[in-house]
Structure 1
């Protein structure tokens, strides 16, 4: 790995390497090397791993927005966080995973919350109520998480190279949500197309909402949530009046 990678602009949560940590050692964002991390239980270890992962995401996003996704290298990302390539690939299989992985976590959280919706709630309502919960969680999670969400949305909208990865993620998520809706409704998704269709309608409506936000230069999670709320009303009217 080249040691002459350009220094990244200041990024949130990016640690400095302590002088006594050998080059190439994985460093958690609190400054301790992975080898020297306290053994205070799996909970502490997992928190350190999550902070390191978040530091890599934040540094990558700063670089992507400053100089472009295609021209940013993994070498530059790890140099900004003072960790090795090996550490990077411990968390991400590819560079694009830095961006799409953030939403993979939210997709899983979404699926778990959808399963918990009231049993009598109609499928379309359950999907949108779960989305409201996810957006509220992001909006209420603090300025750093909200800024991270904003940066990721901007990178996704600006980089055509990530469109294919996003479409693959949509396919995976829609399949999972259709299976959950089928379970909730007690139908077989193999022979009954309704779960897949209602999820497709929901996904289309949310994509339109997010695209409208991007075109209007709206990135704040609370503003996005308000616009998605308005899109829910439009979608409901379409179901009532156009279908």
Structure 2
């Protein structure tokens, strides 16, 4: 079929659909990585899991390890939104209570146990570790902009830069602490009540880490 302007083939994907496809790829990749290991997983396998060819898959992500980026970055996005919406002058613990009550997806993934297992893999898989650290490196300017909006300071102000770095480090440390401890006793096939307990543990760890980073922020 030829469009009015002479264009043929499938219509381009909307940005929303591209985002959803990236999420689908990320979910498939993490399931395969956790189940079979990173080395034993290929781009072709990830693509097949979501109905894409390997050639199409590489249009979305440059490497198989980078396929999990949305699972890392979406959790960071929730904190960026919180920092932007944190009312000036309100204590962090009170703001966190209100935020956590809404049930934000702190891991960005469909199953916290699976994402926790993925984070544990970043300890032993250099490719995943690089993606994990790059995600946080790219998140820091977003934290800085959110804190700058809140404080009325320019995003490149040294105080904003340092606070953004502290929040960034606190979030990564909290998630890693949560994911890495008791690793031998945890599997992706946890029961529902265990997942609820795990979420409360993550929230408690995140609260402690951010409270430490936020000392002196008004």
**TM-score normalized with structure 1 length:** 0.61
Q: Any unmatched runs of 5+ in structure 2?
A: 1-8, 189-193
Equivalent runs, 1:193-232 vs 2, <5 Å: 193-214=158-179, 215-217=181-183, 222-231=196-205, 232=207
Summarize the alignment of residues 1-243 of structure 1 with structure 2, pairs less than 5 Å apart.
35=10, 49=18, 52-121=21-90, 132=100, 136-138=103-105, 146-147=110-111, 149-159=112-122, 160-161=125-126, 162-191=128-157, 193-214=158-179, 215-217=181-183, 222-231=196-205, 232-233=207-208, 236=211
Comparing both chains, which one has the higher relative contact order based on Cα–Cα distances under 8 Å and sequence gaps of 6 or more?
2
With over 3 angstroms needed to count, the CA separation of the structure-2 counterparts of 1:184 and 1:46, relative to structure 1, is closer
Unaligned runs of 5+ in 1: 1-33
CA drift of 1:88 comes to 1.4
CA distance in 2, matches of 1:238, 1:119: 16
SS of match in other structure, 1:137: coil
Q: Does the 8 Å CA contact 1:99/1:152 hold for their aligned counterparts?
A: no
Contact 1:174 1:199 in 2 (8 A): yes
Contact map agreement 2:136 2:172 (CA 8 A) in 1: no
Q: Which of these two proteins has the greater Rg computed from alpha carbons?
A: 1
Rounded Cα–Cα distance in structure 2 between residues aligned with 1:93 and 1:206: 26
Distance (whole Å) between structure 2 residues aligned to residue 127 and residue 204 of structure 1: 20
TM-score by length of 2: 0.66
